[in-house]
Chain A
Amino acid sequence: MNTSDVRSDDDAVRPRTSPIDRISASLRTGMWLPVGVVVLLFAFFSIATPSFFSVRNATGILGQASTLLLACLGSSFVVLMGSIDLSVGAIVLLVGSATVIALNLADLGALALVFAILLGTGLGAINGTIFAFGRIPSFVVTLGTLSVFTGAAWQLLEGRALRFDSSVFESLAIGQLIPKVPNIALFALVAWAIMAWVGARTRFGRYMYAIGGGEAVARTAGLPVRRYQIYAFALSGAMAGLAGALATARLGAAGPTLGQDLLLNTLAAIVVGGTSLAGGVGGVHRTLVGVLIIALLDNGLNLMGVNQYTQMVVKGAVVVLAVLISQDRGRQLIIK
């Protein structure tokens, strides 16, 4: 192979890119933009509100961010695969409610976590099966189950907040193995590390990228596409189940509003972290940064005394902006 060959070959096909295209491309795939936003937000809120930069507030942020991170980890795979899971918040609510009832029926203790994960997996598998075999767009399937799961949970709760009485279960979330760090944060970080590894180093992870990057290619190459689509939704459900149980443990009760903010927040965190809604680009590892951005925004705006309604406006705008930046406009955005 001689070098002139390489050059002529490259020149023939490499599309000419303008500087703007290149900057936009590096924004799309680079990690520095979301990380930069985290640093900026941190600096901004530290200056804007005196109570932001404190150990106590940091512990608070960790607690809030942990539920979000746990709930995002599985659905990041779903987004990576080019689909969407709108039912994450509803699974958190239903599993949280069911877990409280289970705890009150039998003294499960830490075993309640296993129960929650299994229940979540089952709910996610229902999503996945309807999606893969019914050939219905995933946003329709999960929009439907969002309502189904929420309704079922409210039936269980009978519209009230249900408390539980299990100090073992409670300490899973609010105990502090490491001082000042609630255990739920440890769970979230360990789960994040495992999921990032799964994304980067396993067959499952590779197939997620392949299905998101080119479903027709994956199918033609012989990947068991449907089976892995079901796996992804089941995993999304499992992680939402874990998040539901731990969030309940943290709050000491499951109420009708549990997980309500997760519908927007999970999608926001995933997309802001840099996983493209078109699929195939990004990864679970990036979701951590997205979660930090959303959690900092939530916390900082609260401390600044910005009201809830304005916060909703800001967060919605951030999501749309993130998609605008991350979208490859040469490609059609299709969510399957």
Chain B
Amino acid sequence: MTLHTARLSIHDICKRYEAANVVDWVSMDIQAGQVVGLIGENGAGKSSLLNILTGVVRPDSGEMRLDGHLYNPRDCADAARKGISRVFQEQALIPNLRVYENLLLSHEARFTRFGQIIEQRRMIEFAQDIADQAGLMIDVRRPTSEYSFSKRQLIEIVRACVIPVRVLGIAQPVILLDEPTASLDRADEETFFKLVAAMRDTASFIFVSHRLSEVLTVSDSIIVMKDGHVVAKLAADDADEKRLHGLMVGRERQADYYHESLQAVAGPRFALQARALGGHGYVGIDLDLHEGEIFGIGGLLDSGKSELGKGLVGVTPPTSGKVCLYEGPWRNPDMRNSLASGVGYIPAERLAEGIILDFPMSWNMSISSGDLFSTRAGIWKDRHEREIAERMIGELNVRGATPSGACGKLSGGNQQKVVLARWLCRSVRILVLDNPTRGVDAGAKEEIYTIMRQLTAQGVAIVLITDELLELIGMSNRIAIMQRGRITALVDAPPTSKPTEVEMVKLMLPTGNVNREERAA
């Protein structure tokens, strides 16, 4: 049995949220000293799996064993004590502390006399030794914020890799690396790969990355996830990028589901044009959106596509560039003007930005339409609001909703319909949708697609920003792919010749060399 030899073994792990299985019957064994590459497109369940392994999220069912013993971490710290540590995508260092303080954070007790008096010199020497051995080339006494973003990421990686062995005294820790190289410059990247190579005998790694070439180079074996389950486990020697692309995608796209036959032909008029738009996370964006068109925007999580959506509408106004609505004047987008010109926006983070759960359905619907639901003197038209809310509930089939019922009781899909109603109750002509079907069950998804098709038939123009490849391909007339804040590809997607998922994934993933040079520059 592998159970006796595997360092970490997980068996039939499931995690379900509301509408979808994010982790679905996942099993895998990690041997001591093994580097396992974990790949999959956005939302395949990689991060959720790491969250389960580090105790951030509890699985609904399944079993995890560490050296054959049951392993149920309470939280990240508990997981680290037991030997599983993780490097986060976001920086988790405290910038105003010195490097050594960050490296040994939460382990100060080992460097104290009487439990309180910190022996600073011993800490510094110890931390400097760790840094030198890892090839960091830094002075650990300097404040962390003095080092570059890339260097700080590397410090974090070193902390996750070395502390378990050197401080906690764990033999063979399992280290989870979530996109570790995404923000490393070339020199630091080399240091990183050397570190992994040097630690092979003393640790195991799970390496999550979108850079397939790196995964292929560094891993012993590769696990491919899709829609929450493991679709392939293969030895790195048996794999190449092309094969991995195919494994990551390869779902059956049903033309009916996306009502592709109803895909409207884009009208001649421009609904929205943007030139040289730049802001936090995106730069130099030019785009032309036609009436009746669905313009898809795809890209990895850090591609800047969500930020662009906010910029187009003016939720977060861009810092440079101009937008023109319906061939009118060019201006910097702002939310007031967008509302007045018939532009609507649905954010990706429904609970944080889209809907107030304590509020009645009608309030959530009317929140953007003070102009329609109150008189010039500012008196609210309650009856009018209720009537429109009732009509919207009927038209959009918002199940379980009444105008005065709180939205918290509705399912994700029906909540999203309420957010849609916010824009459909005014005569909206342009809609920017950021992941409109996230956390929405299959039935409601299809209803939302139907509504989108109906809207485009009436000439409404839609920008569809989405992490779901099939939705992107199935719904869009044209697709823009973003990488690192720029549109790097523009693909036509007429119903007769839709691009394939593999083509899309290839366009989204960074192609090693080009990117490296860009970052080095």
Beta-carbon contact of A221 and B378 below 8 Å: no
Q: Are B380 and A206 in contact (CB under 8 A)?
A: yes
Interface size for A (C-beta < 8 A) is: 30
Residues of A within 8 A of B380 (CB): 201-203, 205-206
Interface centre among A201, A203, A220, A222 (most CB of B within 10 A): A222
Q: Is the C-beta of B352 less than 8 angstroms from some C-beta in chain A?
A: yes
* Nearest neighbor of B315 in chain A, beta-carbon distance: A220
Interface bits B327-367 vs A (CB < 8 Å: 1, else 0):
00000000110110000010100001111101100010011
Whether B354 and A220, one on each chain, are in contact in the complex, defined by CB atoms closer than 8 angstroms, is yes
Q: Are A281 and B358 in contact (CB under 8 A)?
A: yes
Nearest opposing residue in chain A for B374, CB measure: A203
Instruction: Give the docked Cα–Cα distance between A205 and B336 (Å).
Output: 20
Contact of A221 among B379, B399, B409, B422 (CB under 8 A): B422
With an 8 A cutoff between CB atoms, is B382 at the interface?
yes
In angstroms, Cα B347 to Cα A214, docked, is 14
In contact, B382 and A14 (Cβ under 8 angstroms): no
| A216 contacts across to B, CB distance below 8 A | 352-353
Check if B403 is an interface residue, CB within 8 A of chain A.
Answer: no
Quick check: is A131 within 8 A (CB to CB) of the other chain? no
A178 interfacial contact with B, CB 8 Å: no
Give B345 Cβ to nearest chain A Cβ, in Å: 7
Is B202 among interface residues, defined by CB-CB distance under 8 A? no
Which residues A195-226 have CB closer than 8 A to chain B?
Answer: 201-207, 209-210, 213-214, 216-224
B129 at interface, CB cutoff 8 A: no
Stretch in contact with the other chain, from B89-97, B262-270, B410-418: B410-418
The answer, among B338, B373, B374, B411, for a CB contact under 8 Å with A222, is B338
Given A6-B399, A223-B367, do A14 and B355 touch, yes or no (CB 8 Å)?
Answer: no
Q: Which residue of A lies closest to B371 (CB)?
A: A203
- Taking a contact as CB atoms under 8 Å apart, the answer to whether B411 and A9 are in contact is yes
Is B353's CB under 8 angstroms from A220's CB?
yes
Q: Of A12, A201, A206, A214, which one neighbours B411 at CB under 8 angstroms?
A: A12
CB-defined contacts of A207 to chain B, threshold 8 Å? 370
For the complex, is B368 an interface residue (Cβ under 8 Å from A)?
yes
A201 x B379 contact (CB < 8 A): yes
Contact present for B414 and A9 (CB under 8 Å): yes
CB contacts (< 8 Å) of A219 on chain B: these are: 315, 335, 353
Known A-B contacts A13-B409, A221-B367, A223-B367; the reply to A214 vs B356 at CB < 8 A is yes
With a cutoff of 8 Å between Cβ atoms, the chain A residues found around residue B374 in the complex are 202-203, 206
Q: What is the bound-complex CA distance between A184 and B355, given in angstroms?
A: 42
Residues of A close to B353: CB separation below 8 A: 216-217, 219-220
Determine the residue in chain B with the shortest Cβ distance to A218: B367
Q: Which residues of A contact B409 (CB under 8 A)?
A: 10, 13-14
Shortest CB distance B290–A (Å)? 24
Known contacts being A217-B354, A281-B358, is A210 close to B367, with CB within 8 Å?
yes
State which of A12, A204, A221 has its C-beta within 8 Å of the C-beta of B368.
A221
CA A27 to CA B174, docked complex, whole Å: 48
Q: A13-B410, A221-B368, A222-B335 are in contact. Are A213 and B356 (CB under 8 A)?
A: yes
Find out whether the CB atom of B378 lies under 8 angstroms from the CB atom of A202: yes
The interface bits of chain A over 53-77 (1 if a CB of B lies within 8 angstroms of the residue's CB, else 0) are 0000000000000000000000000
Residues of chain A lying within 8 A (CB to CB) of residue B119: none
Residues in A neighbouring B382, C-beta threshold 8 A: 201
Taking a contact as CB atoms under 8 Å apart, the answer to whether A1 and B397 are in contact is yes
Q: Which of B453-492 contact A (CB under 8 A)?
A: none
Q: Mark B300-338, 1 if CB is under 8 A from A, else 0.
A: 000000000000000100000000000000000001101
A223 CA to B353 CA, complexed, in Å: 12
Q: Is B18 an interface residue (CB 8 A)?
A: yes
Interchain CA distance A221-B356 in the complex, whole Å: 11
Q: How far is the CB of A164 from chain B (nearest CB, A)?
A: 36
Q: Does B62 contact A (CB under 8 A)?
A: no
Alpha-carbon gap, A213 to B410, bound state (A): 17
A6 close to B370 (CB less than 8 A): no
Answer yes or no: B68 CB below 8 A from chain A CBs. Answer: no
CB contact between A204 and one of B355, B378, B414, B422 (< 8 Å): that residue: B378
Residues in chain A near residue B512, CB distance under 8 A = none
User: For B363, what are the chain A residues with a Cβ–Cβ distance below 8 Å?
Assistant: 206, 209-210
Q: Is the CB of A10 within 8 A of B400?
A: yes
Chain A residues within an 8 Å CB radius of B335: 219, 222
Nearest chain B CB to A207 CB, angstrom units: 7
Digit string of B360-399 for contact with A (CB within 8 Å is 1, else 0)?
0001001110100110001110100000000000000101
The answer to whether B370 touches A223, judged by C-beta atoms less than 8 angstroms apart, is yes
Determine the distance from Cα of A116 to Cα of B363 in the docked complex, in whole angstroms.
35
Contact status B378-A9, CB under 8 Å: no
Q: Is the CB of B315 within 8 A of A217?
A: no
Do A217 and B400 touch (CB < 8 A)?
no
A280 within 8 A of B: yes
Q: Which of B356, B379, B412 contacts A280 (CB 8 A)?
A: B356
Contacts of B358 in A (CB 8 A): 213, 280-281
| Bound form: Cα–Cα A216–B348 in Å | 13
When A13-B410, A203-B374, A207-B370 are in contact, do A220 and B355 touch as well, CB less than 8 Å?
no
Please give the distance in Å from B418's CB to the nearest CB on chain A: 12
How distant is the Cα of A280 from the Cα of B406 in the complex, in angstroms? Answer: 13
Kindly list chain A residues whose C-beta atoms are within 8 Å of the C-beta of B352. 216-217
Name the interface residues of A271-297: CB closer than 8 Å to any CB of B. Answer: 280-281
CA distance A201 to B382 in the complex (A): 8
Q: A13 and B315 in contact (CB under 8 A), knowing A202-B374, A222-B336?
A: no
**How long is the Cα–Cα vector from A203 to B354 in the complex, in angstroms?**
20
Query: In angstroms, how far is the closest chain B Cβ from the Cβ of A250?
Result: 32
Q: Complex Cα distance A1/B398, Å?
A: 10
Is B379 in contact with A202, judged by CB distance below 8 angstroms? yes
Q: Give B340's nearest chain A residue, CB to CB.
A: A222
Instruction: Give the docked Cα–Cα distance between A290 and B374 (Å).
Output: 30
Residues 150-174 of A contacting B (Cβ, < 8 Å):
none
Assembled-state Cα–Cα distance A281/B356 (Å): 12
Residue of A nearest to B441 (CB): A12
Question: Known contacts A1-B399, A203-B370; is A13 also within 8 Å of B356 by CB?
Answer: no
Q: Kindly name the residue among A217, A223, A281 whose own CB sees the greatest number of chain B CB atoms within 10 A.
A: A217
Least CB distance, B146 to chain A, in whole angstroms: 27
Residues A6-59 near B (CB distance < 8 A): 6, 9-10, 12-14
Are A213's CB and B378's CB within 8 A? no
Tell me, rounded to whole Å, the shortest Cβ–Cβ distance linking B411 to chain A. Answer: 5
Q: Are B347 and A220 in contact (CB-based, < 8 A)?
A: yes
B370 surroundings in chain A (CB, below 8 A): 203, 206-207, 223
Residues of B within 8 A of A9 (CB): 399-400, 410-411, 414
Contact with B along A115-143 (1 / 0, CB 8 A): 00000000000000000000000000000
Query: Would you call A13 and B411 a contact (CB within 8 A)?
Result: yes
**A224 pairs with B397, CB closer than 8 A:** no
Chain B's closest residue to A197 (CB) is B379
Which residue in chain B gives the minimum CB-CB distance to A216? B353
4 closest A-B pairs (Cβ-Cβ)? A203-B374, A214-B356, A213-B356, A220-B353
12 pairs, A vs B, C-beta closer than 8 Å: A9-B400, A13-B411, A202-B380, A203-B373, A203-B378, A204-B378, A209-B363, A214-B356, A217-B355, A217-B356, A219-B315, A219-B353
Binding site for A on B (CB under 8 A): 18, 315, 335-336, 338-339, 345, 347, 352-356, 358-359, 363, 366-368, 370, 373-374, 378-380, 382, 397, 399-400, 409-412, 414, 422
Further pairs besides A13-B411, A210-B359, A219-B335: 18, Cβ < 8 Å: A5-B399, A6-B400, A10-B409, A13-B412, A201-B379, A202-B374, A203-B373, A203-B378, A206-B380, A218-B367, A219-B315, A219-B353, A220-B354, A221-B367, A221-B368, A221-B422, A222-B339, A223-B367
